[in-house]
Amino acid sequence: MNETMNKKTILIGEPHPGKALAKQCFLHIVKGSALFDAMGKFAVEKFPDAGSIEHLKKLKHEADEAIAEPQNLVEYADILLALFGAAYKAGFTYKQLLEASEGKFEIVQKRTWIRLDDGTYQHYP
């Protein structure tokens, strides 16, 4: 009983560390959403004739650059920005992209994976 009381005292007497983490995550989501919207609007303004397919092709180009320079963080940022532009042009929102990613991650974790000859992985079957 004393141990339980101590735990309650700690929880009541000190700020819950999860609240700070939740706030930090929320701020990252807000920033991500703002970046998504800014990139989408930039893509519409600068590349009005390019649709989601053209932006996905750009994403492939950026991925090739990251493959050539896997230690260059900016190449990963280029991939993310290209993804944001493509998703925005396809009519998706940041929230939809995150929710779809979360759902897909749950599926991916349950799959069986095999290593291919080129070193990449593919789910099986």
- Tell me the H-state helices in 14-120: 17-46, 52-68, 73-89, 94-110
Q: What whole-number distance in Å separates Cα of residue 58 and Cα of residue 85?
A: 10
pLDDT of residue 109: 93
Q: What is the pLDDT of residue 19?
A: 79
pLDDT band with cut points at 50, 70 and 90 for residue 14: low
Q: pLDDT category, 1, cuts 50, 70, 90?
A: very low
The predicted pLDDT at position 6 comes to 46
pTM score, whole prediction:
0.78
Question: What one-letter code names the amino acid at 70?
Answer: P
Q: At 9, which helix (H) or strand (E)? A: helix 2-13
Q: Residues 69-103: pLDDT tens digits?
A: 999 999 999 999 999 999 999 999 999 999 999 99
Whole-number Cα distances in Å, 113 to 11, 67, 118, 119 = 42, 22, 14, 12
